[in-house]
Amino acid sequence: MSAVGGQNGAMTAALLGGGLMLVDRRPIVAGILFGMMIYKPHLALMLPFALLAGRRWLVMFATGATAALLVVISVDAWPHYQHNIALLRAVILEDGTGVSHRVVSVFVFARHFGAGAECPMPGRRSVRWSSLLSLRARGGATSLPISATPC
C-alpha cells in the first residue's frame, strides 16, 4: 500500500534499518544502502556524523560513492520532474480527487469535505496542538517539543 500510494516510508525504513544492521558485517553493502537514501537527504543527514564518530571509513566511502553515482545517473530525470510538477500540484493539491482514497492526512480529509487548498494548514495545526495537549493532559508529555510550536 505504501508504494501504491506514492509513499516511501517502508523503503526508507528498509534502507536505513538494513544499513544499520549491516555496518559491522558488510560495510560496503551498508554504505550502498545508506547512499540509496539520497532521495531523502534530510533523513540521511545524521549518517555522516554517526559514521564519522564510529570511524566507519569504508561505510562512509561506499555511502558517498553510491550517492554521487545516483546523482550523476539522475541528472536527466530532473527536467522531467520540473515539467510534471505543475500537473502533480493540480491533481494533488488543487483538485484532490485523485488521491483522497490513498493518502490519510488532515489535508486530504479537509479537501474531501470541500476546503480550499489554502485552508487545511490551520486544520493541521489544530489537530497537532490538540493531540499534543491531550497527551500532556494524560501525563504522556511533560513539555511540548520545539517542532510543535506554531509557525
Return the pLDDT at 22. Answer: 96
> Taking residues 67-79, what's their average pLDDT?
89
In a domain, 70, yes or no: yes
pLDDT tens column, 85-114: 777 777 766 666 666 666 666 666 776 677
Q: Could you tell me if 31 and 69 lie in one domain?
A: yes
CA distances from 55 to 24, 44, 58 (A): 12, 17, 9
pLDDT tens column, 135-144: 777 766 555 5
> Of 28, 53, 75, which residue constitutes the final position of a domain?
75
Q: Could you tell me if 105 and 142 lie in one domain?
A: yes
> Of 75, 101, 127, which residue constitutes the final position of a domain?
75
Q: Number of folded domains in the chain?
A: 2
Domain that holds residue 28: 9-75
DSSP character for 93? Answer: I
Return the pLDDT at 18. Answer: 95
Q: How confident is the model at residue 127 (pLDDT cuts 50, 70, 90)?
A: low
In a domain, 41, yes or no: yes
Return the pLDDT at 23. Answer: 96
Cα–Cα distance between 131 and 10 in angstroms, integer?
A: 25
Q: Could you tell me if 141 and 119 lie in one domain?
A: yes
Which of the pair, 77 or 25, is modelled with greater confidence? 25
Cα–Cα distance between 47 and 52 in angstroms, integer?
A: 8
Return the pLDDT at 121. Answer: 59
> Of 59, 75, 91, which residue constitutes the final position of a domain?
75
Q: Could you tell me if 47 and 64 lie in one domain?
A: yes
Q: Could you tell me if 93 and 133 lie in one domain?
A: yes
In a domain, 1, yes or no: no
pTM: 0.61
Cα–Cα distance between 99 and 127 in angstroms, integer?
A: 21
